[in-house]
Amino acid sequence: MIVLYDVRMAITEALEKESFQVVENKDGSESPAFFIELVNSTCKKKRKSLQEVSATFNIRYLPKEDSHSEFVQIVDKLNSLFDTTLKVEESYVMVNKLTLEVKDDIPSFKVDISYEQIIAEENIKDQKINEVHFRGGI
């Protein structure tokens, strides 16, 4: 079962594989580096045992200096890294959209991902037990 932490780690590994530095704290970190944060997440139940998860991760690039040519190269590299899918554990998640936004001279890349997964059978049983217990108390 994929969790959002696994997706974040897969993004980190993809960047590090290309020799980019990824930092845990954007303040006081050595540049150039990337900082990854989860912006939002939605989990929808599609069927009794299937859920759809979608999330947006923000990848901030902290440049060493203000170099437009370096910036364009970074954009090209991220576009190819997060083209259509991202390998997470032994599965793949869909990369629906990669959006670039520049705010206060700091480029941010929003990566929208989605995936479906089967809800574990024990979780379904737990839900049924809670429902029966709840109804029995009314």
Please say if the pLDDT value at position 29 is more than 80. Answer: no
Tokens of 120: 């574990």
4-136: which CATH number, 1.10.357, 3.30.2000, 3.90.79, 3.90.25? 3.30.2000
**Is the backbone of residue 104 left (phi > 0), alpha (psi -120 to 50) or beta?**
left
Separation CA 77–CA 94 (nearest Å): 18
Q: Specify the range with the lowest mean pLDDT, choosing from 12-26, 49-63, 109-123.
A: 109-123
For 66-110, write each residue's pLDDT tens digit.
777 888 888 899 999 998 999 999 999 999 999 998 887 788 999
The percentage of residues in the chain with a pLDDT greater than 90, rounded to a whole number, is 53
Grouping H, G, I as helix, E, B as strand and the rest as coil, residue 118 is: strand
Run of H or E including 105 = none
Question: What pLDDT does residue 123 have?
Answer: 53
Separation CA 71–CA 51 (nearest Å): 37
pTM of the model: 0.80
Please say if the pLDDT value at position 124 is more than 60. Answer: no
Sheet hosting strand 33-47, strand order edge to edge = 22-23, 33-47, 50-62, 106-118, 91-103, 85-88
Residue 89 per-residue DSSP state: T
Residue 84 per-residue DSSP state: S
Question: What pLDDT does residue 133 have?
Answer: 47
Domain ranges of the chain: 4-136
| Burial of residue 112, with CB atoms counted within 10 A of its CB: 0-12 exposed, 13-18 middle, 19 or more buried | middle
